[in-house]
Structure 1
Amino acid sequence: MNTDESPRLTVIGTGYLGATHAVCMASLGYEVMGVDVDAAKIEKLASGQVPFFEPGLPELLTKTLESGRLRFTTSYEEVAEFGDVHFICVGTPQMPGSDACDVSYVDAAVTSLAPHLTRKALVVGKSTVPVGTAARLTHTIRELAPAGEEVELAWNPEFLREGYAVDDTLHPNRLVFGVASEWARERLTAAFRPIIDAGTPVVVTDLATAELVKVAANSFLATKISYINAMAEVCEATGADVRDLATALAYDDRIGGKFLQPGLGFGGGCLPKDIRAFAHRAEEIGVGQAVAFLREVDAINRRRRSRTVDLVRELLGGRLDGKRIACLGAAFKPNSDDIRDAPALDVARTMHGLGAYVRVYDPAALDNARRAYPELRYGTSAMDVAQDADVVVLLTEWAEFRQIDPYAMGEVVAHRRIVDGRHALDAEAWRAAGWEYRALGRC
């Protein structure tokens, strides 16, 4: 093992999490090697190309490659020889036809790496997995690794926000170390030394607790988002204003205003699949009732999408067929090109299926959207898709959409009608410009 204070790091999986982790750790001064079975992805990264949209990462990739501290390979034998601490950063999507988490990529990473581990090393899971996975993988590693019990497993969950992943990696609000020995804690501490020295709190715990932290955090955030959207349903039935309600609640410091934003709800590759997998795993281990509320959290979130379509239909007099609809947004959130479980595209596809002439624009996610949903039509700008539109629907709260001049857009549409699916616009400003404005939970 490398006897220097700074261990050599490897990152297994170079998707969103892995590429970001590899680049950021190299920027902190570590020697890092990334590995992936996808040779095309490795070639892109090695040539300085980030295969997804993440602000700040391309520049950092170029800098770390030029420094010589960051390299990429497709060889597990090479990374096993190189590394002291091996981070597993592969995806754990929802299993097809089930709410369960698909851990096959994690299993494949472990079974590919372990046979090449001939000396003492630490394998660190960062992927989001069902509780109990680490205990199972500990046995797998020790059975397959020539170094046997000299190889230890730890868990260090990630808490990245897409669009802010570089800052979240370099300046996290906490680090969680799930370890089974003092040596593993020391190795992880050495692997994050600059971040810890900057004052980041560290929670040292057991493997099972570390596995639970990420899904527990995402479940809480999803619950808070769905709670205010449930209140939006009540507001719609009573004539109340959910934005004013959320503002009043936010002044209570026991509640706070973060994630208390009413609107279309959450999507992406984490929150939806994590709460479903958490509920599924709880049922497997006999404590399903404890998190049964997560099923309703998921249901509330799904209803926001159909209710947004209802608002558009109401503005159009009850029918969508033949109507021209401009959809602003495709990504599940701004500052991202991620369209996984994107509410925006779900709404756009539903309206298309109901016979509407739908055109979509997004600043970053159009290529992904075109590949996934070729049946939809796409435009080159917000003004382009709004041309002759019967209604405009804001579905992803990009800054450039917030800054649209309602008078300028009013000159290109056929009718000044807008549904603000994200409560991102100044309702009074749009109404003053002659627009009929609607939003979930508001009159």
Structure 2
Amino acid sequence: MSNKKQSTQPRISVIGTGYLGATHAAAMAEMGFEVIGVDTDPAKVAALAAGQVPFFEPGLPELLIKHVSSGRLRFTTDIAEATAMSDVHFICVGTPQQRGSNAANTAYVEAATLAVVKNLSHDGLIVGKSTVPVGTGAKLRSIVRENIPEGLTAELIWNPEFLREGKAVADTLTPDRLVIGGASPKAEALMREVYAMPLATGTPMIVCDLPTAELVKVSANAFLATKISFINAIAEICEAAGADVKVLADALGHDVRIGRQFLNAGLGFGGGCLPKDIRALMHRSSELGAYSAASLLQQVDEINMSQRQRVIDLTLEAVGGSVLNRRIGVLGAAFKPDTDDVRDSPALNVAAALHLRGAQVIVFDPEANETAKRSFPTLSYAETMEEAVTGSDAVLVLTEWPEFVNSDPAALFALAANPAIIDARNCLDAASWTGAGWTLRSLGRPAGVAADSGASVLGTSSVVGELVPAA
């Protein structure tokens, strides 16, 4: 590209420093690049510049501090400064669900792209990483063409992210695949330079057209969501027939065509990624006339949401039909372990629903108490697991944190007013809990079946799938 700034290697800007952007910026610095992160929120920029991560992600604080201290990673609110010092511009802003619609809101992506283009001082490559509806890239290319300063050139391509919350650093540094969409030979060569480190270790790069790249992330999330909803639908059959959904899932998982990951019956998926992504894909499919996909995703979403009501029903059964003035201990607020993300958290949804029925709900989460308080301030929060269990008429395990899975049922039994526990994630050893005196209920499993029964029967341990995080 002509007029490109002279440097020994491309310099990188990351537009948007939320979960995706902060992680990507730190990882790019770890790969050896000079990186500048840009955000419109001065408080967030100040925190990151001080080496403080405003959310919980294992390994990210250490990476951030390392490269802020070295000077390789900087943060600013000045988009002109960022574009002036950079050659490759990653768009990492959010695409939340539109109000009153299932469609994704691409306004932030459009604004970020426009800001980069208008402030270009030399030729550049704009790389979309945000999760967007198919067709967004074509619209953004029009924005680039119409607003680029005279005498400069810029190319827009797509490079979707595949981060899992709790494993985002590893997923960026050692991804299982890289997808590059709509790139010219020059842009592809530049992206191979940017990703030289993972490519050198064998990470495959799939080079494709722009629409295919836009569809990869949402299709992956839709498939994973479908797999989760499938096993939850089978769990309903298991309950009616007296079968054990976990043993069934273990048996299915031995088929290499199916695999064991994401076949964990329970409360279902949540977070800032899967729910909004499948709804956005459902909406876009209908717009394109692909009604079979829209219908399938509608069923996936409905099955997933129904699991929350099923856990509420089990809780009502456990306390005699009404939770009014009953103390309910809720273990878990984050939508999954190893994160403090409570966006569309099934755990908090269930907790709030019980609160609205008159229950005294006491929530404990090892990392997400503070984020949960901001979203659901009317709930009560405990400082420890033991505090949440003390005096409870029922205990609900809604997020499978290791400290809940490995807790001592006998010690907790002594604290509960009524030793009833709802294992909404099928993560507890039911034999240990019932042996300690607890009445245990779970989804899709007969009462009193040990959580590792599938392993003892099949000679293999189950694999817990990971949800894919949000931009």
> TM-score range with shorter-chain normalisation?
over 0.9
Question: Residues 334 and 397 of structure 1 are in contact (CA less than 8 Å); yes or no, is this contact kept in structure 2?
Answer: yes
Whichever residue aligns with residue 413 of structure 1, its letter is: A
Instruction: Report the secondary structure of 2:344's partner residue.
Output: coil
1:309/1:79 CA distance change after superposition, 3 Å: same
Unaligned runs of 5+ in 2: 447-471
Superposed, 1:4-403 pairs within 5 Å as 4=7, 6-147=9-150, 150-403=153-406
Cα deviation for residue 2 of structure 1 reads: 4.0
Task: Determine the C-alpha separation between the residues in 2 that align with 1:442 and 1:149.
Answer: 63
Question: Residues 242 and 262 of structure 1 are in contact (CA less than 8 Å); yes or no, is this contact kept in structure 2?
Answer: yes
Cα deviation for residue 241 of structure 1 reads: 1.2
Instruction: Report the secondary structure of 1:157's partner residue.
Output: coil
Whichever residue aligns with residue 244 of structure 1, its letter is: V
Task: Determine the C-alpha separation between the residues in 1 that align with 2:320 and 2:19.
Answer: 43
1:147/1:255 CA distance change after superposition, 3 Å: farther
Whichever residue aligns with residue 213 of structure 1, its letter is: V
Question: Residues 117 and 148 of structure 2 are in contact (CA less than 8 Å); yes or no, is this contact kept in structure 1?
Answer: yes
Which deviations, in whole Å up to 9, do the C-alpha atoms of 1:3-61 show, x marking residues without a partner?
A: 44521010000000000000011011100000000011000000110011001111111
Which deviations, in whole Å up to 9, do the C-alpha atoms of 1:257-315 show, x marking residues without a partner?
A: 00011100000000000000001001112212334200000000000000000011111
Asked which structure has the greater RCO (Cα within 8 Å, sep 6+), the reply is 2
Identity of aligned residues (%): 55
Task: Determine the C-alpha separation between the residues in 2 that align with 1:292 and 1:441.
Answer: 25
The two structures, once aligned, show a CA RMSD in angstroms of 1.0
Cα deviation for residue 240 of structure 1 reads: 1.3
Instruction: Report the secondary structure of 2:199's partner residue.
Output: helix
Instruction: Report the secondary structure of 1:292's partner residue.
Output: helix
Task: Determine the C-alpha separation between the residues in 2 that align with 1:224 and 1:30.
Answer: 38
TM-score, normalization: structure 1? 0.98
Task: Determine the C-alpha separation between the residues in 2 that align with 1:129 and 1:246.
Answer: 33
Instruction: Report the secondary structure of 1:25's partner residue.
Output: helix
Task: Determine the C-alpha separation between the residues in 1 that align with 2:379 and 2:159.
Answer: 40
Question: Residues 119 and 147 of structure 1 are in contact (CA less than 8 Å); yes or no, is this contact kept in structure 2?
Answer: no
Instruction: Report the secondary structure of 1:153's partner residue.
Output: strand
Please name the residue that 2:449 is paired with: none
1:142/1:355 CA distance change after superposition, 3 Å: same
Instruction: Report the secondary structure of 1:204's partner residue.
Output: strand
Task: Determine the C-alpha separation between the residues in 2 that align with 1:94 and 1:379.
Answer: 31
Task: Determine the C-alpha separation between the residues in 2 that align with 1:56 and 1:23.
Answer: 10
Task: Determine the C-alpha separation between the residues in 1 that align with 2:151 and 2:82.
Answer: 18
TM-score, normalization: structure 2? 0.93
Question: Residues 283 and 294 of structure 2 are in contact (CA less than 8 Å); yes or no, is this contact kept in structure 1?
Answer: no
1:141/1:148 CA distance change after superposition, 3 Å: farther
Question: Residues 254 and 260 of structure 2 are in contact (CA less than 8 Å); yes or no, is this contact kept in structure 1?
Answer: yes
Question: Residues 2 and 8 of structure 1 are in contact (CA less than 8 Å); yes or no, is this contact kept in structure 2?
Answer: no
Cα deviation for residue 415 of structure 1 reads: 1.4
Task: Determine the C-alpha separation between the residues in 2 that align with 1:150 and 1:344.
Answer: 48
Whichever residue aligns with residue 148 of structure 2, its letter is: A
Cα deviation for residue 180 of structure 1 reads: 3.4
Whichever residue aligns with residue 19 of structure 1, its letter is: A
Question: Pick from 410, 415, 434: which aligns with 2:413?
Answer: 410
Which deviations, in whole Å up to 9, do the C-alpha atoms of 1:231-277 show, x marking residues without a partner?
A: 01111122211111111111111111000111000000000000000
